């Protein structure tokens, strides 16, 4: 059974950093592109980052480019999201998701990040 | 960027009825469209990809249609568990973007 479990969320002050983790199991992690998708309170879904199987290629929307970094450790079947220079508009639930083509066939339950002073 | 306009935002129906949700892209995306179901306390579920292909495990009462800019998710013979939120997503190019969501409520 495919399982994705996020961790690392919490309350952080504006301008500070936070690193999220996602533990994957039930599939060969190194064979799949992986992604982070977020959902602000009472809002829709927003794609945040994608990483290739080896980690050599990464993709971001303009809203987080230069501030967020996606990475992975295939030996540990883990995905990460380093978030720097956090803003109040980054407040959201962050989901780890597995890519199938360029959509997402499995999602984690999410971890909440609140950016507030 | 491709903008996805999803409508309606809210939809009320009764069990056993059929409903349709629309998703319009700001430019042609061929059939690079997926539909997801969101339920509180559960992981989001992929329902349909490539515009009309049912993901394994998706009940046959769900169907997707469309190509280019206009897409539709249809749910026939609504079951109680279908009353929740649905999103579309294009994957024609980066950035990947989602529709704003449709909340399906019991009438």
Q: Round the average pLDDT of chain B to a whole number and report it.
A: 97
* CA atoms A55, A24, A6, A40: torsion sign: positive
Q: CB atoms < 10 A from the CB of B2, how many?
A: 18
**Gap between the Cα atoms of B64 and A82, Å rounded:** 36
Q: Six-digit token pair at B24?
A: 């319009």
pLDDT band of residue B97 (cuts 50, 70, 90) is very high
pLDDT in tens, A78-108: 999 999 999 999 999 999 999 999 999 999 9
Q: What is the pLDDT, as a whole number, of residue A13?
A: 98
DSSP structure class, residue B51: T
Q: Determine whether the interchain pair A44/B98 forms a contact, defined as Cβ–Cβ distance below 8 Å.
A: yes
Q: What is the pLDDT, as a whole number, of residue A77?
A: 98
* Chain B residues near residue A59 by CB distance under 8 angstroms: 94
pLDDT band of residue A76 (cuts 50, 70, 90) is very high
pLDDT band of residue B14 (cuts 50, 70, 90) is very high
* Chain A residues near residue B42 by CB distance under 8 angstroms: 109
Which of B7, B43, B54 would best serve as a mutation to test chain A binding (most A beta carbons within 10 A)? B43
Q: What is the pLDDT, as a whole number, of residue B85?
A: 97
B86 and A CB contact within 8 Å: no
pLDDT band of residue A10 (cuts 50, 70, 90) is very high
Instruction: Give every CB contact of residue B55 below 8 A, 6+ residues apart in sequence.
Output: A105, B46, B47, B48, B49
The C-alpha of A27 sits at a distance from chain B's nearest C-alpha, in angstroms, of 16
Q: What is the pLDDT, as a whole number, of residue A34?
A: 98
Q: Six-digit token pair at B74?
A: 């249809």
Q: What is the pLDDT, as a whole number, of residue A52?
A: 98
pLDDT in tens, B24-66: 999 999 999 999 999 998 999 999 999 999 999 999 999 999 9
End-to-end Cα, chain B, rounded Å? 36
Which of B44, B85, B89, B102 would best serve as a mutation to test chain A binding (most A beta carbons within 10 A)? B44
Q: Determine whether the interchain pair A61/B32 forms a contact, defined as Cβ–Cβ distance below 8 Å.
A: no
pLDDT band of residue A111 (cuts 50, 70, 90) is very high
**Gap between the Cα atoms of B2 and B26, Å rounded:** 6
Q: Determine whether the interchain pair A61/B94 forms a contact, defined as Cβ–Cβ distance below 8 Å.
A: yes
| Helix or strand (DSSP H, E) at B48 | strand B45-49
Q: Answer for the pair B13, B104: CB distance below 8 angstroms, yes or no.
A: yes
Nearest CA in chain B to A45: B98
| Of residues A111, A45, A97, A102, the one with CA closest to residue B101 | A45
Q: Determine whether the interchain pair A100/B49 forms a contact, defined as Cβ–Cβ distance below 8 Å.
A: yes
Q: What is the pLDDT, as a whole number, of residue A101?
A: 92
Three-class SS state of B64: strand
| Of residues B100, B37, B10, B21, the one with CA closest to residue A42 | B100
pLDDT in tens, A21-61: 999 999 999 999 999 999 999 999 999 999 999 999 999 99
């Amino acid at each position: 059974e495919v399982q994705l479990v996020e961790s690392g969320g919490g309350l952080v002050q504006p301008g500070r950093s936070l690193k999220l983790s996602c533990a994957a199991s039930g599939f060969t992690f190194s064979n799949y592109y992986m992604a982070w998708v977020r959902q602000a309170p009472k809002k829709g879904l927003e794609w945040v980052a994608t990483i290739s199987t080896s980690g050599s290629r990464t993709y971001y929307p303009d809203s987080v480019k230069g501030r967020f970094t996606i990475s992975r450790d295939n030996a540990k079947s883990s995905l990460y999201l380093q978030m720097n220079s956090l803003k109040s508009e980054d407040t959201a639930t962050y989901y780890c998701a597995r890519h199938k083509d360029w959509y997402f066939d499995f999602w984690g339950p999410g971890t909440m990040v609140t950016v507030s002073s | 960027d491709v903008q996805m306009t999803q409508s309606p935002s809210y939809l009320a129906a009764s069990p056993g009825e059929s409903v349709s949700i629309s998703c319009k892209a700001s430019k042609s995306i061929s059939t690079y469209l997926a539909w997801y179901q969101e339920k509180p306390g559960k992981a989001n579920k992929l329902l349909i990809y490539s515009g009309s292909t049912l993901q394994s495990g998706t009940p046959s009462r769900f169907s997707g249609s469309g190509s280019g800019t206009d897409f539709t998710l249809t749910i026939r013979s609504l079951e109680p568990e279908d009353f929740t939120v649905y999103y579309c997503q294009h994957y024609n190019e980066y950035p990947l973007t989602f529709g704003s969501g449709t909340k399906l409520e019991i009438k």
